[in-house]
Amino acid sequence: MSPPLLPGPIGVFDSGYGGLTVCRELEQTLPNYDFVYLGDNARVPYGNRSFSTVYRFTRQCVEALFDMGCHLVILACNTASAKALRSIQQLDLPMGPSHRRVLGVLRPSTEQAGSLTRSGHLGLFATEGTVRSLSYPLEIARFFPGVQLSQQACPLWVPLVEAGELQGDGTHYFVEKYCQALMEQDPMIDAVLLACTHYPLLAPSIAQHLPEGTRVVTQGPLIAEALARYLHRHPHMDMICSKNGHRAYFTTDEPSVFDEKATLFMGRPVRSQGLSLG
Ligand code: DGL
């Protein structure tokens, strides 16, 4: 008989800082659980990279989190969820220990899509890669065939967020540009989903550039609620998630730079460690 598994932290992965907007909600909703965050800041952005590159990078980061003792990893990145999750679940997980799980952020968002809009016209902002993957339109059509979805790729928003440029004329110009482009596709839109975990940092500016009353939906709370439900439904996984309220942050780039920005994103001091993926 194999020895019982040692409980481990829940891994949270993003290409950069964006997943911190999800991590913050996870930590608030599940305060006793241990979390390890990994940002691949050295290789961000993923949004304009090919399927095979996003898959290769994401798989390396997931393996690094498994090596740190995680049994459950959340891809807190829409691009990775849209482009790499299925391959990781179908090709990689079956090769490893059978208890390991990797979950993405698309399903928790798409299963709520119908309740986000009253007009039935929903807008979505995401990276080029997420938009081109058609993952959102396909999933939303499956759950809510009556919802009309319009997608807008916003290739410059992630670099702006990574650079900490959340305000200023340049940022407002590019926020306005993509908001206008979305509303031109469908003026009946009454709610927009920020389907990139970097975008909540731009939410105040986005709200300013959309017609008054448009609902701006961030994914963090949806993902945190979905994870809490998942752990409730899967007591075997819940049992092997350690619960000491520990948090650890890793970056593939320079920790001092990560700390400075992550402190802003999290609203409290963050001390990260550097991780080399070899
Ligand atoms: N934060 C990621 C997402 O949710 C993508 C950022 C990137 O382009 O790397 O899509």
pLDDT (tens digit per residue) in 42-98: 999 998 899 999 999 999 999 999 999 999 999 999 999 999 999 999 999 999 999
Ligand 1 midpoint to CA 196 (Å): 5
Task: Find where tokens 């839109």 sit.
Answer: 189
- What proportion of the chain, given as a percentage, has pLDDT over 90? 90
Determine the atom of ligand 1 nearest the C-alpha atom of 105: 4
CA distance 206 to 161: 13
What SS3 state is found at 234? coil
- What domains sit in the chain, N to C, each tagged with a CATH number? 10-104+221-274 (3.40.50.1860), 108-219 (3.40.50.1860)
Q: What is the mean pLDDT of the chain?
A: 95
Judge if the beta carbon of residue 152 lies within 6 A of ligand 1.
no
Task: Indicate if ligand 1 lies below 6 Å from the C-beta of 108.
Answer: no
Percentage of the chain lying above the pLDDT 70 cut: 99
pLDDT tens-digit map of 4-53? 789 999 999 999 999 999 999 999 999 999 999 999 999 999 988 999 99
CA dihedral in degrees (275, 47, 115, 28; nearest 10)? 20
Q: For the residues 101-109, what does the mean pLDDT come to?
A: 96
Element (H, E) at 75: strand 72-75
The mean per-residue pLDDT over the stretch 203-228 comes to 97
The answer to whether residue 162 scores a pLDDT higher than 90 is: no
Contact 194, 217 (CB under 8 A): yes
Span 135-140, average pLDDT = 96
